[in-house]
Amino acid sequence: MKLLRITIRRRETLRTLALNGCKLWVMKLSYVHKHTYHKPNPNPIAMIPHQIYNSKKQIKEYAMKHFFMDLEFLCDEDFAYEDDVIAICLLSEDDQFELTSLVKPYDEDFQVSEYCTTLTGITQESLLDKPYFSDVYETMIENTSDEDIIYVWGNVDLEAVYKLSIEIAGELEFNIVDFQDEFMQYCGLAFRPGLKKVYEALTDDTALTHHDVRNDTVMLKKIYQIFKADPKAAMRKVKGRMR
């Protein structure tokens, strides 16, 4: 018997192996506030959503999709606590998927500072009945694939998802790209430009509120689309207005 270690994203691989007669012994690891381990399940088919498993003919080529993501964290005037996500937004470029949710920190004694509420609009009470990041993570996994790219603005969100993915699954299960870095390098900027400033320079839209998790994701998506449509024009416009 060959022992295979799989993660949540490998469900389709597991099903293909099972359908082809491979004998598999599966242990599923879940993370809910603290690590909990489920007993090994001798029937891997029972662990996988039935809509994936009807016949081999349902396996189709998958077209890569682009997603855009923003996170908000517990914070005070001096520090952002990057281990404590309190909001997430994930939007697909084709407008077919949206995940926007407040997130309850794992630490039951968490405190939302007055500064954090002023900055993000998120209060202590608004988080008490919200899902943990591990629950939101499951939704992310179910609606993205290995081929998809998730764009973020800045390395803070990128590093936060990396750490959380390692905690939950033991590996980074997403293809995440810091678009701020790509934009900065193309434009030859010696500093990391702010999301709202770049958005306003490209669109002349000053109505969206910064640090609202959905607004920030919408701004990132629009910046990406404008830049990809004409990188040189976007570069000239931003550099001309951010001198």
HEC secondary structure over 74-98: EECCCCEEEEEEEEEEEEECCCCCE
Mean pLDDT of 220-229: 98
Q: Does residue 38 contact residue 32 with C-beta atoms inside 8 Å?
A: no
pLDDT, greater one: 228 or 3: 228
This prediction has a pTM of 0.77
Q: Give the Cα separation of 24 and 44 in Å (integer).
A: 7
Q: Tell me, what DSSP letter sits at residue 129? A: T
Model confidence at 18: pLDDT above 70? no
pLDDT at residue 195, rounded to an integer: 97
- For residue 4, CA distances in Å to 23, 27, 44, 176, 221 come to 10, 9, 12, 26, 38
Q: Which helix (H) or strand (E) holds 124?
A: helix 124-127
Model confidence at 38: pLDDT above 50? no
Q: Whose structure tokens read 């022992």?
A: 3
Q: Determine the 3-state secondary structure of 171 from DSSP.
A: coil
Model confidence at 93: pLDDT above 80? yes
pLDDT, greater one: 47 or 232: 232
pLDDT at residue 191, rounded to an integer: 93
pLDDT at residue 34, rounded to an integer: 35
pLDDT at residue 36, rounded to an integer: 33
Residue 113 Cα to chain centre, angstroms: 24
- For residue 91, CA distances in Å to 83, 212, 221 come to 22, 14, 8
Confidence of residue 92 (pLDDT cuts 50, 70, 90): very high
Choice among 35-39, 137-141, 205-209 with the minimum mean pLDDT = 35-39
pLDDT at residue 96, rounded to an integer: 96
Q: Determine the 3-state secondary structure of 65 from DSSP.
A: coil
Percent of the chain with pLDDT over 90: 69
223 φ/ψ sector (left φ>0, alpha ψ -120 to 50, else beta): alpha
pLDDT at residue 222, rounded to an integer: 98
Model confidence at 89: pLDDT above 90? yes
Model confidence at 1: pLDDT above 90? no
Q: Does residue 26 contact residue 39 with C-beta atoms inside 8 Å?
A: no
Model confidence at 159: pLDDT above 50? yes
Q: What is the pLDDT of residues 99-158, one digit of tens each?
A: 999 999 999 999 999 999 999 999 999 999 999 999 999 999 999 998 999 999 999 999
Q: Does residue 6 contact residue 16 with C-beta atoms inside 8 Å?
A: no
pLDDT at residue 82, rounded to an integer: 83
